[in-house]
Amino acid sequence: MKKLCETKILEVKVNYKVTTAIAGDYVAKSINERIDCRAIFWNSTEVWVQNTDWIKIAQLLKDSPDLDFNYLSAITAVDYVEYFEVIYHLISFQFNQSAILKLRIFDRENPSVSSVTSIWQGADLQEREIWDLMGIRFDNHYNLKRILLWEEFPGHPLRKDFLR
């Protein structure tokens, strides 16, 4: 087989350990030590952080050379009726490790959280989807419009009290 395309030396470092490491404890420790924000609660896989601190924490996670979470894999919102939980799945290509960050929003009438589109561009469509289906507003998102449903659609269908 002829060589079809040449591989150059990559600027994005990728590390292949056998499995992706999970960095819950380490992330929580870094947050507590390096900035004036605190992780509320954590275990080996997940870290719960304060809603208002999120943008600072996101910046830390991306910029610290020993964390280097350069890839935002997924954003999820779950409606637990008493509160909303927004879940961020992050991956660091360089260290092949993943982290799960969770925020809780107790305001049901007008829930909002800081947008991370300025840090990870990949949040753009996912945040719009969450606004559309779950009704959580992302502050400072440059184009927060409905994405799957039309603008006049009443309510946010993934909420548990939708049409009940």
Partner 1 sequence: MGIKSEPVTINVGPQHPSTHGVFRMRVTFDGERVLDVEPVFGYLHRGTEKLAEERNYTQIVTLTDRLDYTAAMSNNLAYVRAVEQLAGIQVPERAMYLRVIAAELQRIASHLIFVGFFLQELGAFGTPLMYSFRERERILDLFEMMCGARITLSYMRPGGVFQDTPEDYWPALNTFLTEIPHYLDEYENLVLDNEILLARTKNIGVLSHEIAVNSSISGPILRASGVKWDLRKANPYEVYDRVKFDIPTGSIGDNYDRFVVRIMEMRESIKIIEQCVQQIEKGEVRSKVPLIIRAPIGDAYSRIEAPKGELGFYLVSDGSIAPYRCKIRSPSFINLTILHDILVGGNLADLIVSFGSIDVNMGEVDR
What six digits make up the tokens of 80?
A: 């637990």
Pick one of 50, 73, 108, 137: the residue that binds partner 1 (CB under 8 A): 73
With H, G, I as helix, E, B as strand and everything else as coil, classify residue 159.
coil
| Positive or negative: CA dihedral 81, 82, 84, 90 | negative
Pick one of 29, 76, 83, 137: the residue that binds partner 1 (CB under 8 A): 76
Q: How far is Cα 91 from Cα 73, in angstroms, rounded to an integer?
A: 7
The answer for residues whose C-beta is within 8 angstroms of residue 140's C-beta and 6 or more apart is 114, 115, 117, 118
Chain Cα centroid distance, residue 19: 21
Pick one of 11, 33, 109, 152: the residue that binds partner 1 (CB under 8 A): 11
Pick one of 72, 86, 113, 144: the residue that binds partner 1 (CB under 8 A): 72
Is residue 82 a contact point for partner 1 (CB under 8 A)?
A: no
Residues 124-163 touching partner 1, rule: CB under 8 A, are 124-126, 129, 133, 147-150, 157-158
Is residue 10 a contact point for partner 1 (CB under 8 A)?
A: yes
Is residue 16 a contact point for partner 1 (CB under 8 A)?
A: yes
Q: How far is Cα 59 from Cα 17, in angstroms, rounded to an integer?
A: 25
Report the residue number, 30 or 92, with the smaller CB distance to partner 1. 92
Residues 32-71 touching partner 1, rule: CB under 8 A, are 70-71
